[in-house]
Chains A and B, each alone.
Chain A
């Protein structure tokens, strides 16, 4: 049975869709069978970042409403063979996502894929709560600034109360993915420090993704950053994060900072304990 990951944040524009595509591709590049699912009904983006926008025929809402079978809606990636996309609908609204329908689709996907990665819409409303509902693991995407951290804290509260795991008394596995980290601004003190964010959110760190033009370049050519330029700094950071998701233990490095690998790996191992 596959593992269901929700990529969520509360706040908009922090890098959920970018991270869903990059982590999904990175896991598939290791040979795992992966599907990325766009839950942002009405504002779909994942198809663009994956470069599949012209191949969308059926979408999640069609499958939920029974207008299409799951295999008809899945789009296989042209570059990474074991990577698939289940797109969202751009024309329907999110009321078409029913809890029963989502449960059925996720259940079916779990039988066929190793990883089901759900790209959550921003906010704490229906779309976001449905995206997290059936997750086994949550990746909480946060930028190093106060409003993003507070919204992530709010989302963690929901992960611990509004999910199937939480309701059945189990603990949801949660990981922090710190994105758009800018070494220059961190040096100047214009951003929250990594350990301050960790102290506030107190969940283990999955990785730190640097702010980089490579992310924009990748989305312009319609490829996850790990596929577009697998040697770029954000790609390397996403590869490491994917390996940690798969259970490997690696030291965390702060982008642009050669000294602190040791220091942060200490924080990581303490938090991850």
Chain B
């Protein structure tokens, strides 16, 4: 934090540092194909990017200044607003473009720079094309001791619980339009109507448990399943979900 005093006014301006969990998009060529896949993802998970900080990573992407400008505009059209561009040569970033970002690394106890956790967004019903899907990379702080977050009331529509340090347990329901994002497993002792994302910064052994499954979206380690992809006989049941390779598996809890 830094304090700056202005002579004309006794009040000081406070400048604070704050870190946010940003979604990183790493496009590949040809860009129109990548955008099509992004549209497909957005259609399956409406509002995924809405109101989230998104960083565009263009490291190793051979584009010129106009192409990059076009890409930012194409994303803006899709309501994905870019807060910064990572890995771009300075000459690529013209006026009116999002600022260049550097050093997007967690600055806490454990440096995860080399094992940069990543989530691949995949369409679970078409594993053959899975590697074609756009990459969404979520990086966050990692602590050395596993932690848990316990919420003792319902998570209401519009609320978002983000806890990358470990497991999230909700004693109550998760409403339609609410979301739980956990670095570890997600446990819902109530009805899961919204979204649950387990292993959100890379953890394929994370699981999702809920007393009653009515979810809009489930994700483990970046592998997604939308409501329509779920077996109808699991609806309304007590369910556990886990990851087997690239597929989300589910089983009723008796």
Contacts and interface: CB of A to CB of B under 8 A. Distances in A.
28 contacts: A124-B158, A150-B157, A150-B175, A150-B176, A150-B177, A151-B157, A153-B156, A153-B157, A153-B175, A153-B176, A153-B177, A154-B156, A154-B157, A154-B158, A154-B177, A156-B156, A157-B156, A157-B157, A157-B158, A160-B153, A160-B156, A199-B191, A200-B173, A200-B191, A200-B193, A202-B154, A202-B172, A202-B173
Interface string B160-179: 00000000000011011100
B235 to A, nearest CB: 14
A153 B153 CA distance: 13
Determine chain B's interface SS by DSSP, over half rule: loop
Contacts of B154: 202
Q: Top 10 nearest A-B pairs by Cβ distance? A: A157-B156, A153-B157, A154-B157, A154-B158, A153-B175, A153-B156, A150-B157, A157-B159, A156-B156, A150-B176
Q: Report the contact-size class of chain A (Cβ under 8 Å from the partner).
A: 10 to 19
Contacts of A157: 156-159
Interface residues of B, number: 13
Contact of B175 (A124, A160, A200): A200
A156 to B, nearest CB: 5
Interface string B10-47: 00000000000000000000000000000000000000
Interface of A: 124, 150-151, 153-154, 156-157, 160, 199-200, 202
Nearest to B177: A150
A124 B177 CA distance: 15
B196 to A, nearest CB: 17
Nearest to B159: A157
Contacts of A156: 156
B195 to A, nearest CB: 14
Contacts of A151: 157
A266 B195 CA distance: 32
Nearest to B214: A200
Interface in B165-207: 172-173, 175-177, 191, 193
Nearest to A171: B153
A200 B175 CA distance: 7
Given A157-B158, A200-B173, 15 more contacts: A124-B158, A150-B157, A150-B176, A150-B177, A151-B157, A153-B157, A154-B156, A154-B158, A157-B156, A157-B157, A157-B159, A199-B191, A200-B175, A200-B191, A202-B154
A100 B153 CA distance: 31
A210 B172 CA distance: 30
A156 B153 CA distance: 12
Contacts of B153: 160
Contacts of A150: 157, 175-177
Contacts of B156: 153-154, 156-157, 160
Contacts of A202: 154, 172-173
Interface string B134-161: 0000000000000000000110111100
Nearest to B175: A153
A162 to B, nearest CB: 12
A151 B177 CA distance: 10
Contacts of B157: 150-151, 153-154, 157
Nearest to A161: B159
